[in-house]
Chains A and B, each alone.
Chain A
């Protein structure tokens, strides 16, 4: 061989061909990559550090109000987060247990290191998936050649280039860069250009995205300090224990297999002295000094925000939470801050139990580049670029669970695109994931978006307890849920149906014995006979409580009993919401062609026309949620759609 070719060969960059590239291995990236690989596509996941796979750089827990719902739904669809936290939790709690079933929410404290390691193990052992430690610095595209009719994109994905110059050719890319893009961390006057936890930021991709016509904006978020647990005095705090009976996140986890010893969290409070220190040093806070340009979330304010905005509050709660079993680091929930190190130490030390605390990691605020998800279709694909998808904090959301949910959907839809199938778009009326994505891609979100139960207009139907009944079928259809798991749900459905039917037909007589039993439960005796279902509807009774009046009852699994009880007790509300959903679905089902010429729609108001042209909603339902589009505009659109469909 000629020496020149040999030399030249050594100078040639690596060039690999895969199906999907996932950029980032946080909670969104992991779910996206696993979904793609499990759907049979050759996938590579890039991370700036393999040690940061599924990292939890902020709070040490998974779930919580409405986020718990997301994890349940993700699990029903075949995602990994639920299984992973079931394997690595160290405390578990059902929040809002005394409230209605729609707002019960599971939350587990994670052993962060274990969570991360376990997810890494799953990724490493996944067929069709490879992990690559590299910074992706360019998205490669060409003029669109495919014959898709569902997008107006002018470009399509051809691959990515990594910082070393290597090229990965692929047909779909999923951006899950979290808070890493041009990240900047602030702790008082000290500013470092790093990602979370001191990790390397990704500084090159932003300009590639800008060149593709994607507009970027700056969001910010923050995290509190981590303390050396040995320096805290827990006797001055209130202990917060886990639930006695642990409920798993995953529908595939056997509840009996996860009952274990749990660790505690601790509650303490700030006081006037704390607030005084903060107020005196506000000028040294980068936010109040105007150094931070990003928009932060109001729902998880820094302690300095709380003190300023809620000046009338005499104290704020502080939750001390363990970061894991093999570390004594403690997370100081409720006191995130970007004040300088010396102020931080002084303020933390005013809190009872923290008088002698030593800080392992300072609290800091982090700023990063992200997009407005209105650039995306509800499939999470960019409107402008065929084959480019995005998920997680990069889309302007916040939270591990929100990120994971989007990651899964982006992964599913990238795969389905390559497999030539319709995208999976979950509706607002069937899932929190649907609400999350619809809000992100439709509304003008000015701060990191967090899930809340109040955002789900049909929340009585979207309970965490029935996520499997709602969504397993989709997981099965896309190929992420096994036939066996799916059949389990069908069987559960059947058992629920039969039992409900039975309860409506079994009549309890007004015998004296029955009366005495009811009175013992604080319930009025019967005057005439009534069905068991009617009895269960009484506020003070439940399915389980009336068991003694129901000798015919079969021994049913707990999950079935729970469904029967809820569906009977809240039947009135549930049927009301079902009716609303029926109406809602009619408009949601009316699809709008991607290439609709809005100029040809007669009598649209100018504002509506502009918004619709810019936005390109996929359905009449989505169009109706765009601000500035009125019901009359929607009527015009319907008329027009009918008109053009008649011509075809």
Chain B
């Protein structure tokens, strides 16, 4: 539990919107924001008076990230009663994440839910009416945090972190049981063993930290397969995505009769898009090959965009497709909203009960395509989407915690080199263990006692 460091968070709702505000609070708030901001007026934020707004740009070294308005608040005259800065960004969620990331690189910590309000209270800042007004906000944050922590990190990443934690816990438990029962358990020769273990853990954390920056996202894109029966509107969708103000990165023409592959940039996210031939129950041999191909691609897919023709009733073909993609990440696109709809949401749900997301779109006029872009992005940043089984960190907060874990492990290594007594090693190991725990939303509680008692034979 920290209370006096500098924290930041996106203050606006996570829903797509043009403007997003990042709020920064704490003793270093103004200085740290100043380090990534250049005002048009060339004045430094450090000299800015309270309650002033400044127009300028956020920079990542020499590169402009966004055009922003920055408000400066000085203690105690701010929401939290601490020095605070609000950055009004214009570039949408992706840019907000980027700015947040820049701040954390400068040492700002991502706030936990409700932390700004908590600070405001601890600093005696909020009065009764304000207090009541923020209750709902925190409540929403609470729900969001729970929801997010459940969505985040399912699957591989969470398993990897859990296994790293298990490794660390074992080492702590060993040290602690020896300290508690020195006559039964000896630490002779242990530092060498721990040093090896520590190296492995460090390389794991470093790899994950790099994955955040790797840009793999840009190089390869999310392998996205468009499926749907003929005339569901696959080609229209692809054309729309390729045509309308979306940058075409490469243009690899389809190599077969029935598959067309394109790399597109969808609102900052790179997708490797595969348009398959329609799936149709057919005795025709050539058609059969097309279907099998589609299946092969569908199997490889990170994400499936399944188009349902909203203007025509569900058919046997839809059912066949649904059967094939039951355990994949799917966004169902109910196409042709420009026509009279004869398919209901319930029809789709009965077809594909686990369809997480059903979006009505019109591939003809582009209606709903923005929502599609946002959904894909959200899935990716929540860890629902991964690419090529590679494990990625996608969230700034996670990356920052991983960095903390790494620092603690480096401290362990340093202490090992200095021949520090083992009890100091266990303190830093515990810090690493905690940091990793925060990523996957687990607390320490009685883990350690549990591990000591179950793995090591104590005396008496």
User: Is residue A148 within 8 Å, beta carbon to beta carbon, of the partner chain?
Assistant: no
Q: Does B18 contact A (CB under 8 A)?
A: no
A639 and B138 contact, CB distance less than 8 A: yes
Distance in angstroms between the alpha carbons of A639 and B3 in the assembled complex:
16
A65-B181, A638-B122, A642-B131 provided; 13 other pairs, C-beta below 8 A?
A59-B460, A65-B179, A96-B423, A309-B457, A317-B183, A317-B459, A333-B459, A454-B180, A586-B3, A602-B139, A603-B136, A624-B1, A636-B142
B449 near A627 with CB under 8 A, answer no
Query: Which of these, B135, B423, B426, B449, contacts A636 with CB under 8 Å?
Result: B135
Number of interface residues of B (CB under 8 A): 54
**Chain A residues within 8 Å of chain B by Cβ, number:** 57
Report the minimal beta-carbon distance from A617 to chain B, rounded to whole angstroms. 15
Say whether A288 faces chain B, with CB atoms less than 8 Å apart: no
Complex Cα distance, B426 from A631, in Å, reads: 26
- 8 Å CB contacts to A: which residues of B115-138? 115, 117-118, 121-122, 126-128, 131-132, 134-136, 138
Query: Which partner residue on chain B sits nearest A624 by CB separation?
Result: B1
Task: Tell me the chain A residues, 102-153 only, with Cβ under 8 Å from chain B.
Answer: 102-103
Bound-state CA distance A633–B132 (Å) is 15
Find out whether the CB atom of A632 lies under 8 angstroms from the CB atom of B142.
yes
Complex contact B427–A573 (CB within 8 A): yes
- Which B residue's beta carbon lies closest to that of A636? B138
Q: Roughly how many angstroms separate A98 CA and B460 CA in the complex, as a whole number?
A: 22
The answer to whether residues A333 and B122 also contact, given A96-B179, A454-B179, A539-B418 and a CB cut-off of 8 A, is no
Q: Please give, as numbers and ranges, the residues of chain B lying within 8 Å of A605 by CB-CB distance.
A: 142
Q: Report the bound CA distance from A630 to B138 in whole Å.
A: 12
Residues of B bordering A, CB below 8 Å: 1-4, 112-115, 117-118, 121-122, 126-128, 131-132, 134-136, 138-139, 141-142, 145-146, 172, 176, 179-184, 418-424, 426-427, 445-446, 448-449, 452-454, 457-460
Which A residues between 48 and 89 are near B, CB-CB below 8 angstroms? 59, 65-66
CB–CB A99/B132 < 8 A:
no
A646 at the interface (CB under 8 A from B): yes
Are A573 and B128 in contact, CB atoms less than 8 angstroms apart? no
Docked CA distance A573–B424 (Å) = 8
**Nearest opposing residue in chain A for B172, CB measure:** A454
Would you give 27 A-B contacts (Cβ < 8 Å), ordered by A? Answer: A95-B182, A96-B182, A98-B421, A99-B179, A99-B423, A100-B422, A100-B424, A103-B421, A298-B453, A299-B453, A300-B459, A301-B457, A306-B457, A443-B446, A452-B176, A452-B180, A452-B449, A454-B452, A539-B419, A583-B2, A602-B139, A627-B445, A630-B146, A642-B121, A642-B126, A643-B128, A643-B132
Give the complex CA separation of A336 and B460 in angstroms: 7
Known: A100-B423, A317-B459, A584-B1. A638 touches B121 (CB 8 A): yes
Min C-beta distance of A15 to chain B, whole Å: 45
Chain A, 570-592, CB within 8 A of any chain B CB: 570, 573, 582-584, 586-587
Q: Are B449 and A630 in contact (CB under 8 A)?
A: no
Closest CB-CB distance, B148 to chain A, in whole Å? 12
A583 and B4 in contact (CB under 8 A), knowing A301-B458, A310-B457, A638-B118?
Answer: yes
Indicate if the CB atoms of A646 and B127 lie closer than 8 Å.
yes
Specify which of B182, B184, B445, B454 lies most central, judged by the most chain A CB atoms within 10 Å of its CB.
B182
The smallest C-beta distance from A374 to any residue of chain B, in angstroms, reads 14
With beta carbons under 8 angstroms apart, the residue of B142, B183, B418, B453 that contacts A319 is B183
**What 0/1 readout, one digit per residue, does chain A (327-369) give for beta carbons within 8 Å of chain B?**
0000001101000000000000000000000000000000000
Q: Could you say which of B114, B142, B180 contacts A453, with CB atoms under 8 Å apart?
A: B180
Q: Which of A65, A336, A443, A634 is B182 in contact with, Cβ under 8 Å? A: A65
- Chain B contacts of A531 at CB under 8 A? none
Chain B contacts for A638, CB-based, 8 A: 118, 121-122
What B residues does A642 contact at CB under 8 A? Answer: 121, 126, 131
- Nearest A residue to B443, CB-CB: A627
**What is the CB-to-nearest-CB distance from A82 to chain B, in angstroms, rounded to a whole number?**
21
Choice from A100, A306, A334, A586 contacting B421 with Cβ under 8 Å: A100
Among residues of B, the one whose C-beta sits closest to the C-beta of A300 is B460
> How many Å lie between the Cα of A587 and that of B118 in the bound state?
11
Contact A647 B423 (CB under 8 A): no
- Which B residues are CB-close (under 8 A) to A573? 424, 427
Q: Is A313 an interface residue (CB 8 A)?
A: yes
Min distance, Cβ A547 to any Cβ of chain B, angstroms: 22
Q: Are A65 and B423 in contact (CB under 8 A)?
A: no
Residues of B within 8 A of A647 (CB): 128
A603-B121 in contact (CB<8A): no
Once bound together, how far apart are the Cα atoms of A388 and B179, in whole Å? 37
Q: Does A635 sit at the interface, judged by CB under 8 A?
A: yes
Task: Given A583-B4, A627-B445, A639-B135, answer yes or no on A539-B420 (Cβ-Cβ < 8 Å).
Answer: yes
Enumerate chain A residues within 8 angstroms of B128, measured Cβ to Cβ.
Answer: 643, 646-647
- Inter-chain contact B457/A313, CB cutoff 8 Å: yes
Chain B residue nearest to A334 in the complex (CB) = B459
Contacting pair A635 B138 (CB below 8 A): yes
Q: Does the CB pair B457–A602 fall under 8 Å?
A: no
* Residues of chain B contacted by A370 (CB below 8 angstroms): none
CB of A292 within 8 Å of the partner chain: no
Complex Cα gap A380–B135 (Å): 34
Shortest distance between the CB of B194 and any CB in chain A (Å): 14
A333–B135 contact, CB under 8 A?
no
Min distance, Cβ A570 to any Cβ of chain B, angstroms: 8
Q: For the complex, what is the distance from the CA of A481 to the CA of B145, rounded to whole Å?
A: 50
Closest to B2 in A: A583
Q: State whether the Cβ of A284 lies closer than 8 Å to any Cβ in chain B.
A: no
Residues of B near A298 (CB, < 8 A) are: 453-454, 458
